[in-house]
Structure 1
Amino acid sequence: MTQYLLSLPHDSAEEPTMATMEPAELEAAMAAAGAFMEELVSSGALVFAGGLHPPSTAVTVDHTGDELVLADEPFTVAPEYLGGLWVIEAPDQDAAVAWAAKASKGLGGRIEVRAFQEVPA
């Protein structure tokens, strides 16, 4: 089966975190995410999932030259950033899109679906 990345974008201007959300909003988001995760687990589709801290917490590592260079910033600045993700296994893109639709509905946000590359045979 193919693995797909379902990613949850966030607005870079806001940089929401669980610590900054209103308690009722956080509770609703956690309930929706929990229900989605339970369904992924029970179906056997879940490989991995996680939420990320905002880009302002990023460290970019560049050791392509002779010296190691660390930058306390994301590697790119964009209007949106990856806030969370699920890696799932699905038989095809249509099935992965169906999972993304459930996540989008439950969490009230857009979800991007991308297949992982497979090594050619």
Structure 2
Amino acid sequence: MKFLILIYGNPEGRELWNQLSEEQRRESMAGYGELEEALTARGELLASESLDDPGLTKQVRVREGRAVTTDGPFAEIKEQLAGFYLVDCASLERATEIVARIPEAEHSIVEIRPVRDLSALQ
């Protein structure tokens, strides 16, 4: 069986992260690296990414064939995550074009969320 493990954060956790020294941040990130290595060795890791600030999220609704975006990240509580596509494209505009081609987008909310670049911490 496949599982998507979503790691949720909150403003208090982000504030604590921001108060850590560079060394403490590197140590924390090393723990993620070790976990990824262990899961890879067992053949269990399919994909892993850290998502960028939720304030950068865009919600996309396709209505009458037209994609309309609003600031995210929160869908109504009745909405539940059903799956995801991980894409590598040139811009938010291109990602919005991709969302407009998802069949379910006409009847649901799809969020576009940038992936955080962690290369500076390594």
When the two structures are superposed, what TM-score results if normalisation uses the length of structure 1? 0.51
**Do the aligned partners of 1:62 and 1:68 also contact (CA within 8 Å) in 2?**
yes
**Do the aligned partners of 1:16 and 1:54 also contact (CA within 8 Å) in 2?**
no
Deviation at 1:67, TM superposition (A): 4.1
The runs of at least 4 consecutive aligned structure 1 residues that moved more than 6 Å come to: none
Q: How many residues matched?
A: 75
Deviation at 1:44, TM superposition (A): 0.8
Q: CA–CA distance in 2 between the matches of 1:77 and 1:27?
A: 35
The aligned residue for residue 53 of structure 1 is 52
**Do the aligned partners of 1:60 and 1:72 also contact (CA within 8 Å) in 2?**
yes
- Structure 2 gap segments, 5+ residues each: 78-122
The aligned residue for residue 75 of structure 1 is 74
Q: CA–CA distance in 2 between the matches of 1:77 and 1:29?
A: 32
Q: CA–CA distance in 2 between the matches of 1:73 and 1:38?
A: 32
**Do the aligned partners of 1:55 and 1:73 also contact (CA within 8 Å) in 2?**
yes
Higher helix content, 1 or 2: 2
Query: Which structure exhibits the higher relative contact order, with contacts defined as CA atoms closer than 8 Å and separated by 6 or more residues?
Result: 1
Q: CA–CA distance in 1 between the matches of 2:25 and 2:51?
A: 15
Cα distance change, pair 47–40 in 1 and its aligned pair in 2 (3 A): same
Deviation at 1:75, TM superposition (A): 3.4
Higher strand content, 1 or 2: 1
**Do the aligned partners of 1:59 and 1:70 also contact (CA within 8 Å) in 2?**
yes
Q: CA–CA distance in 2 between the matches of 1:46 and 1:67?
A: 36
Matched residues, percent identical? 21
- Structure 1 gap segments, 5+ residues each: 79-121
